Structure 1
């Protein structure tokens, strides 16, 4: 079964919009785990506009499933990850002012930097994943960075699927095959939803994990968090 890691950034966004501690990210994370999700993902940004660095510190000892911290490996992010030692760190090359992640790594251009950062994380027994566009060249180069996994950036797939173009899955199928050939584990995330997740899963059989936040939280407004999580788990079997 493909594991479901729920990104709870939007819970923190809602909390921060009003101040105070409602909704509480720790309580929400515990509920999500209780409903069957196999992981919690957070993506702290330097401006702390949603998940804060303190949230990460509070969540680290509380999460009982896999804890995934994703973000741009600037010095303060690296320090935060090493301090809290999650199950997995996902490296994302997002600009500080980016609304959301919008591109994967150029694993050729940034190879030396990635090697250095990943080595430090692996020395601390933290599984590493690199956020990458569905580009075979970038997947092939990722094997030389020391990463354990890659996370395919799935926005293009989601857009194509919504427009009725199921051939949008083809680049992802090719990249999944390459990842398997070079010994990289495979994650995926960004704009995956109840509408498109089953087709993606059916065509990417080696998929280890998906990270879903915005769509899952939005869908939960209509159907409830427990119902939505259980629907995802059923589709990911």
Structure 2
């Protein structure tokens, strides 16, 4: 079964809009795992507009499944991840002021930069994933960085799913297949939802994990968190 990691950034966004501790990102992480999710994802940014540095350390002892920390590998981010030692770190090249992630790495251009950073994480026993646009030509260079996995940036798939899902999935399936040739695991995330997830999961080879936040948290406002997590798990089931 493809694993579901729930990104809880939006829980922190809601808390920060009011101040105080409600809703609690720690309690949310505990409950989401109880409801069956296989992991918790966070994406702390330098301005702490959602997940804060304190959240990162508070979450570490309560994430008993898989802890995935995403972010642009500035030195402060690298040092924080090395202290926390999550199961996985996902490197994302977003600008500090980006509302959300909007592009993957040019792994050819940044191969040396990524290789140096990834070696630090791997020496600490942390699995590494590189955020990647669905371009087969980038996969070889992603492998050369020493990364364990790629994470496919799926916004374009989500935008085009209703119009022509067969066309929308094609370059993702090709990139995932190429990753398999280089023994890279495949993760995916960005704008995946209850509507488009099953088709994606059924057609992407070597898919190991999806990281979903905005849609899942939004849908849980109508359906309840437990029902929503269970609905996502059913989309990922292979039977």
Q: State how 1:55-204 maps to structure 2 within 5 Å.
A: 55-204=55-204
1:10 matched to 2:10? The reply is yes
Match of 1:152, SS? strand
Q: In 2, are the aligned partners of 1:160 and 1:166 still within 8 Å (CA)?
A: no
Matches within 5 A, 1:15-30: 15-30=15-30
Query: Over aligned residue pairs, what C-alpha RMSD do you find?
Result: 0.7
Unpaired stretches in structure 2, ≥5 consecutive residues = none
Could you report, residue by residue, the CA deviation over 1:122-175 in whole angstroms, capped at 9, with x for unpaired residues? Answer: 000000000000011111211100000000000000001033443110000100
Deviates more, 1:172-181 or 1:159-168: 159-168
State the distance in 1 between where 2:185 and 2:161 align.
24
1:64 Cα deviation (Å)? 0.5
Contact 1:92 1:104 in 2 (8 A): yes
More displaced, 82-91 or 162-171? 162-171
Deviations 1:38-81 (A, max 9, x none): 00000000000000011001001111000000000001000110
Q: Where has structure 1 moved over 2 Å in runs of 4 or more?
A: 162-166
* Cα separation, 1, equivalents of 2:77 and 2:208: 25
1:83-125 CA-partner distances (Å, limit 9, x unpaired): 1000000000000000000000000000000000000000000
Aligned to 2:40: 40
Q: 3-state DSSP class of the match of 2:104?
A: coil
For normalisation by structure 2, the TM-score amounts to 0.98
Q: CA separation in 1, counterparts of 2:131 and 2:83? A: 22
For the residue of structure 2 that corresponds to 1:180, the secondary structure is helix
Is the partner of 2:169 in helix, strand or coil?
A: helix
1-side partners of 2:102 and 2:162: how far apart?
18
Question: Bigger shift: 158-167 or 107-116?
Answer: 158-167
TM-score, normalising length: structure 1: 0.99
